[in-house]
Amino acid sequence: MNYIEKNKEYIELAKSRIKQLYNEKPKLFIETAGCQQNEADSEKLTGMALDLGYILTDEKEDADLILINTCAVREHAELKALSHAGRLKHLKEIKPSLIIGICGCMVQQEHRKEDIKHKYPYVDFLFGTNMIFDFPRLLYKVLTEKKRHFFVESYEENHGEMVEDVPVFRKSTKTAWVSVMYGCNNFCTYCVVPYVRGRERSREMTCILSEVKGLIEDGCRDITLLGQNVNSYGKDLENSPTFVDLLREIDKIDGDFVIRFMTSHPKDATKELVDFIAESKHMAPHFHLPVQSGSNRILKAMNRHYTREAYLELCGYIKKVHPDISLTTDIIVGFPGETEEDFQETLSVLEEVRFDSVFSFNYSLRKGTKAASMDCQIDEETKKERMGRLLTLQQRISAENNAKLVGRTVSVTVEGDSKADPNVWAGRTEQGKIIHFPKNGIPLEGGQHVFVEIERAESYTIYGKLK
């Protein structure tokens, strides 16, 4: 369904109401936590708000509408979002007309919705992940009805419509997120995503291709395709196109651009996908493949549906077909029942695969998941100690991997100024590695491709000079 067709009535009603309420264009402040899918959702929310008559502000104090887009993957992310919401109380007291909304994965959970409802009375409305495309209608009701609203429906009640041609506001004209599917069917025992994002729903390939072509025509050079498990793309569509089918069609598009994707589930990652990355014109030489644990016993308890041996075989094939590819992964430390032996098996996977980087997290109990009720929950001190050992090992491996790059010239996408030094550019290699290089008075812009000779390397950053 088209965005305009679905929301035509409420777009006009909301625009009219906004003009009645404000003498000048009202200001929107939006804060986003969590994954790239959340970032993509916030870009759509911002685009819709701008379409309705708002303008963006970087200052909460200036805002007429504040949206907090939340994450639920770990408790820390939820507590941080609630803390940020708590700090808005004084702004509401100073400016009673301020509208505060909280959306995203956290509020899709009934217990968090009730928390906000009773403990944060100054929050005006909530809306779940399956109602993002209804934003014009939701906002209109908030602007016209003098009461709080809780637009949160379970995915059993509302599966979440696939709405296309939504206005999107992207901060960069050179990089972009493109969602190819939503939801997840895997039900890993530690994860809330299937409950807060619903079942897998794929976008039609023609819609994705149209969006990607438009981005490339507008000068975008770095596009990341998003899905909780991109390898499941197309299973719910007519004729069941595969993710590789989609990539082949994107690869046929003319232009100077790079395609990335995340996230890939090991149980569904195929050799056909690996082969295509190696032979394609536009695919980045980077593969993010979450292993989560190196222990077969823990993988089974996590409901991951692959073994340590199968994972290692796949990584071996990836490196054989594409020796220069960057392999990265996710690891959970301290899953319920994880023994020291289990943890050592995880460390040995790091040693064998030699990932370029690892995104590691202490296990976070998620209410409603199977793992939350498992016996043998690991104490925080043990998690912290194991995490320290894992990080120490990976720092050494990353440093050794990066040291092999010294003396090579690599293609780099400029991201902007280095946070540490305004006289230095920061960018990323095709493999996704962070690189810093002196400006030397040379004007560049974000998204521009340049060549940099690597002079030295550390665990997380490499340094070089423009060629």
pLDDT of residue 173: 87
Q: Is 88 left (phi over 0), alpha (psi -120 to 50) or beta?
A: alpha
Tell me the domains of the chain and their CATH numbers: 3-151 (3.40.50.12160), 170-284 (3.30.750.210), 285-402 (3.30.750.200), 409-466 (2.40.50.140)
- Token pair, residue 331, equals 């690891």
Q: Counting every residue, how long is the chain? A: 467
User: Cα–Cα distance between 290 and 300 in angstroms, integer?
Assistant: 15
User: Cα–Cα distance between 73 and 365 in angstroms, integer?
Assistant: 9
pLDDT of residue 174: 87
User: Cα–Cα distance between 79 and 71 in angstroms, integer?
Assistant: 10
pLDDT of residue 75: 92
Alpha helices in 190-295 (DSSP H): 193-197, 205-217, 243-251, 271-279
Question: Which residue type does 253 have?
Answer: I
Sign of CA dihedral 444, 449, 451, 457: positive
In the sheet where 175-179 sits, what is the strand order?
A: 175-179, 222-226, 258-262
**CB distance 409 to 438 below 8 Å:** no
CA atoms within 13 A on the CB side of 39: 14
pTM above 0.85, yes or no: yes
Phi and psi at residue 21, to the nearest 5°: -85, -30
Q: Is 370 helix (H, G, I), strand (E, B) or coil?
A: helix
Please enumerate in sequence order all residues whose Cβ is within 8 A of that of 335, keeping only pairs 6 or more positions apart, or say none.
Answer: 190, 292, 293, 298, 301, 302, 363, 371, 378
User: Cα–Cα distance between 220 and 175 in angstroms, integer?
Assistant: 6
Please enumerate in sequence order all residues whose Cβ is within 8 A of that of 397, keeping only pairs 6 or more positions apart, or say none.
Answer: 350, 351, 354, 355
Mean pLDDT, 10 residues at a time, over the chain (467 residues)? 90 97 97 95 98 97 98 94 96 97 97 96 96 96 96 85 93 92 97 95 97 96 95 95 98 95 96 96 97 98 98 98 96 98 98 97 96 96 98 98 96 91 94 95 88 95 95
Which residue's structure tokens are 């939820």?
A: 78
Which residue's structure tokens are 């719910």?
A: 236
Please enumerate in sequence order all residues whose Cβ is within 8 A of that of 81, keeping only pairs 6 or more positions apart, or say none.
Answer: 33, 68, 70, 71, 102, 104, 106
pLDDT of residue 199: 94
- Token pair, residue 290, equals 């979450």
What Å distances lie between residue 407 and 280, 364, 454, 457, CA to CA? 26, 42, 5, 10
User: Cα–Cα distance between 47 and 168 in angstroms, integer?
Assistant: 4
pLDDT of residue 9: 95
